[in-house]
Chains A and B, each alone.
Chain A
Amino acid sequence: MSAASAAPRPARPRRRRRLDASLIVGIALVAVIVIGAVLLATIGRNFFSAGNIRDILTGMSVLGFVAIGQTLVILCASLDLSVPYVVSLSSLIAADIMAGNPANIPMAVLVVLVVAALIGLANGLIVSKLKVNGFIATLGTGLIIKGYLDTNYQGTSGSVPWDFQLIGATGVGPIPVSTLLMLFVALLAALFLARTRTGHRIYAVGGDEQVARLSGIRTARPVIVAHVLCSISAALAGLLLASRLGVGSPTVGTQGGYDLLSIAAVVLGGTLLMGGRGSIWGTIGGVAIFAVVDNVMSVLQVNPFLKDVVRGVVIVAAVAVYTSRQVDRRRPRFGPRGSVSQATDAPGGSDSTGTGRPGETSSDREEVRA
Chain B
Amino acid sequence: MTATTTTPTQPGFGERLAAFGRILISPRGAVFLLLAILLVAITVLNPSFAEPDQLVRFIQRVAPIAIVAIGQYFVIVGGEFDLSMGSVVTAQVVIAGNLIGQDASLALPVTALMLAFGALVGLVNGLVVSFLRVPSFIVTLGMMLALLGGVLYWTGGAATGNPADEFRELGRGGIRDLPVIGILPWAVVILAVVLALAIWFSKRPFGRTIIALGDNPVTAAYSGTRTWWVKTSTFILSSLSATVAGILLVGYAGVHPSVGRGYEFTAITAVVLGGVVLGGGRGWVVAAVAGAFALEALFTLLNFAGVPSTYRDAVQGVIIILAVAYAATTFRARRKGRALEASPAGPEQAPEPGPDEAKETVADPASARPAHIPSTQRDDNDTKGGS
| Residues of B that sit less than 8 Å from A by CB | 79, 83, 128, 130, 132-135, 137-139, 141-150, 152-153, 157, 216-218, 220-222, 227-228, 231, 265, 268-269, 272, 278-279, 308, 310-318, 320-321, 324-325, 328-329, 332, 355, 357-358, 360-361, 364, 383, 386-387
A147-B313, A305-B150 known; A221-B387 Cβ under 8 A: yes
Does A87 interact with chain B (Cβ within 8 Å)? no
- Residue among A130, A143, A305 making CB contact with B316, cutoff 8 Å: A143
| Residues of A that sit less than 8 Å from B by CB | 126, 129-133, 135-137, 139-144, 146-148, 150-151, 213-221, 260, 263-264, 267, 273-274, 303, 305-313, 315-316, 319-320, 323-324, 327, 343-344, 347, 349-354
**Chain A nearest CB: distance from B223 CB in Å?**
10
Contact A132–B321 (Cβ < 8 Å): yes
Listed A/B pairs (24) with beta-carbon separation below 8 Å: A131-B329, A131-B332, A132-B324, A133-B279, A136-B324, A140-B320, A146-B313, A146-B314, A146-B317, A147-B311, A151-B310, A213-B357, A213-B361, A214-B360, A263-B138, A264-B141, A267-B137, A267-B138, A305-B150, A310-B149, A312-B141, A316-B134, A327-B133, A353-B218
Cα A309 to Cα B83 with chains together (Å): 15
Q: Main SS of chain B's interface residues?
A: helix
Chain B residues with CB below 8 A from A220, complex form: 355, 387
Chain B residues with CB below 8 A from A353, complex form: 216-218
Chain A residues with CB below 8 A from B321, complex form: 126, 130, 132, 136-137, 140-141
Cα A313 to Cα B265 with chains together (Å): 21
- Residue among B133, B157, B279 making CB contact with A324, cutoff 8 Å: B133
Which chain A residue has the least Cβ–Cβ distance from B143? A312
**Chain A nearest CB: distance from B356 CB in Å?**
8
Contact B149–A306 (Cβ < 8 Å): yes
Contact B153–A309 (Cβ < 8 Å): yes
The 5 residue pairs across chains A and B that have the minimum distance between CB atoms: A147-B314, A308-B149, A143-B317, A312-B146, A312-B145
Chain B residues with CB below 8 A from A133, complex form: 272, 278-279, 324, 328
The count of A-to-B residue pairs whose CB atoms sit within 8 angstroms is: 188
Chain B residues with CB below 8 A from A310, complex form: 149
**Chain A nearest CB: distance from B150 CB in Å?**
5
Chain B residues with CB below 8 A from A267, complex form: 135, 137-138
Chain B residues with CB below 8 A from A148, complex form: 314
Chain B residues with CB below 8 A from A344, complex form: 218
Given contacts A309-B149, A320-B134, A349-B221, 7 further A-B contacts (CB under 8 A): A130-B321, A131-B329, A133-B278, A136-B272, A260-B83, A309-B153, A315-B145
A309-B150, A350-B217 known; A144-B134 Cβ under 8 A: no
Cα A181 to Cα B265 with chains together (Å): 34
Chain A residues with CB below 8 A from B315, complex form: 147
Cα A351 to Cα B221 with chains together (Å): 11
**Chain B nearest CB: distance from A50 CB in Å?**
31
**Chain B nearest CB: distance from A119 CB in Å?**
12
Chain A residues with CB below 8 A from B222, complex form: 347
Which chain B residue has the least Cβ–Cβ distance from A122? B321
A350-B217, A353-B218 known; A316-B138 Cβ under 8 A: yes
**Chain A nearest CB: distance from B21 CB in Å?**
24
Cα A216 to Cα B357 with chains together (Å): 6
Cα A352 to Cα B213 with chains together (Å): 11
Chain A residues with CB below 8 A from B272, complex form: 133, 136
Cα A214 to Cα B363 with chains together (Å): 10
A139-B317, A213-B360, A312-B143 known; A273-B135 Cβ under 8 A: yes
Which chain B residue has the least Cβ–Cβ distance from A215? B361
Chain B residues with CB below 8 A from A221, complex form: 387
